Amino acid sequence: VTDSLGVEVFCAGTHPFAAWYQQKVTNKERYAKLIERTQWWGRQMLIYGVHIHVGIEHKAKALPILDGLLNYAPHLQALSASSPWWGGEDTGYASNRALMFQQLPTAGLPFQFAEWAEFESYVEDMFITGVIDDITEIRWDIRPSPRLGTVEQRVCDGVPTLEEVTAIAALTQCLVEDLSTRLDNGEEIPTMPPWHVQENKWRAARYGMDAIVILNAAGDEKLVTESLVELLNQLEPTARKLRCENELAGVETILRYGASYQRQRAVAREHNGSLKAVVASLIAEMREGIAKDEPAQQGGQYNRQ
């Protein structure tokens, strides 16, 4: 599509070496208002994410499903993490975007409401106090989207390949369908306290596929890749029901060959730290998919000691 224009295309949570202060802000009132309010932090939002909507049949399900999805937010963050660089420097994080974006008002992790009426009351308060002028200005990592009748998963960094997009979309859809079915069966969806959810976000942003994540309110922990393998097995019947087994299998490809941040760092190591080589690799992945050469090397796991 862009060849005739002499333009190359790639996708990641951040550009490896672009400087935010050199970029033009999109000429829309929405963004002008955001910059006016948030100033320096808002101007830095040179970040890119994948948003996935999954329809649900009744608003009463929205918040229990949202709360249930928070248990898997670190899994989604780790799989999609693709923003290790900021302004030409390695941040040490798998997803610098995740922590950058939450600096905006109303962005970051959602509040966990028990009833839909509580969410409506929150939204009304935001309008009354002038925090928002439109419900879409609630920029949570996972949020209800009342206009579309969906739960919107916004955890993920931008990812370089169609295979990764479809894998993460299938995983999200299967999770929502599984949670919805459990609600239909009268089950109560397990949740975690906000401090566990917050810690999981930080661990996944920092360590990516090497994160040890908290699994439940009891504080049990597991390496996120091991938890993902168990999750894929758990979701097999749901994937068959939704006919997305092939797409969900793309998660195994990411587990085997690494998330984007791992692949980017591997390219940088192979090219004496060249971020231009990293960009070239991202362009190639957009065109050709993940190079299935050597499995990813894990390392740098979270350690409390």
pLDDT tens-digit readout, 196-255: 999 999 999 999 999 999 999 999 999 999 999 999 999 999 999 999 999 999 999 999
Task: Tell me if 222 is assigned to some domain.
Answer: yes
Are 154 and 48 spatial neighbours (Cβ–Cβ below 8 Å)? no
Task: Tell me if 91 is assigned to some domain.
Answer: yes
Q: How confident is the model at residue 300 (pLDDT cuts 50, 70, 90)?
A: very low
Task: Tell me if 297 is assigned to some domain.
Answer: no
3-state secondary structure the chain: CCHHHCCCCCCCCCCCCCCHHHCCCCCCHHHHHHHHHHHHHHHCCCCCEEEEEEECCCHHHHHHHHHHHHCCHHHHHHHHCCECEECCEECCCCEHHHHHHCCCCCEECCCCCCCHHHHHHHHHHHHHCCCCCCHHHCEECEEEECCCCEEEEEEEECCCCHHHHHHHHHHHHHHHHHHHHHHHCCCCCCCCCHHHHHHHHHHHHHHHHHCEEECCCCCCEEEHHHHHHHHHHHHHHHHHHHCCHHHHCHHHHHHHHCCHHHHHHHHHHHCCCCHHHHHHHHHHHHHHCCCCCCCCCCCCCCCCC
- Domain range spanning residue 55? 3-288
Q: How confident is the model at residue 295 (pLDDT cuts 50, 70, 90)?
A: confident
Angle value at C-alpha 145, between 36 and 161, nearest 5 degrees: 85
What does the pLDDT look like over 116-159, one tens digit per residue?
999 999 999 999 999 999 999 999 999 999 999 999 999 999 99
Q: Per-residue pLDDT averaged across 9-30, rounded? A: 93
Cα 111 to Cα 54, 176, 193, 220: the distances in Å are 20, 18, 11, 22
Residue with tokens 């922990």: 221
Rounded to two decimals, what is the model's pTM? 0.94
pLDDT at 292: 85
Q: How confident is the model at residue 298 (pLDDT cuts 50, 70, 90)?
A: low
What does the pLDDT look like over 24-55, one tens digit per residue?
988 999 889 889 999 999 999 999 999 999 99
Q: What is the mean pLDDT of the chain?
A: 94
Q: Per-residue pLDDT averaged across 49-66, rounded? A: 96
* Token pair for 120: 């409506």
Task: Tell me if 265 is assigned to some domain.
Answer: yes
Residue 149 gets the label, from left (phi > 0), alpha (psi -120 to 50) or beta, of left
pLDDT at 297: 61
Whether 95 shows a pLDDT value over 90: the answer reads: yes
Q: How far apart are CA 156 and CA 103, in angstroms?
A: 16
Task: Tell me if 148 is assigned to some domain.
Answer: yes
pLDDT at 3: 87
Domain count, the chain: 1
Q: Which amino acid is at 161?
A: T
pLDDT at 305: 32
Q: Per-residue pLDDT averaged across 259-276, rounded? A: 98
Task: Tell me if 298 is assigned to some domain.
Answer: no
pLDDT at 303: 42
Radius of gyration of the chain (CA): 19
What does the pLDDT look like over 66-87, one tens digit per residue?
999 999 999 999 999 999 999 9
Task: Tell me if 299 is assigned to some domain.
Answer: no
Cross-strand bridge partners of residue 20:
none
* CATH code assigned at 41: 3.30.590.20
Task: Tell me if 121 is assigned to some domain.
Answer: yes
Q: How far apart are CA 130 and CA 23, in angstroms?
A: 29
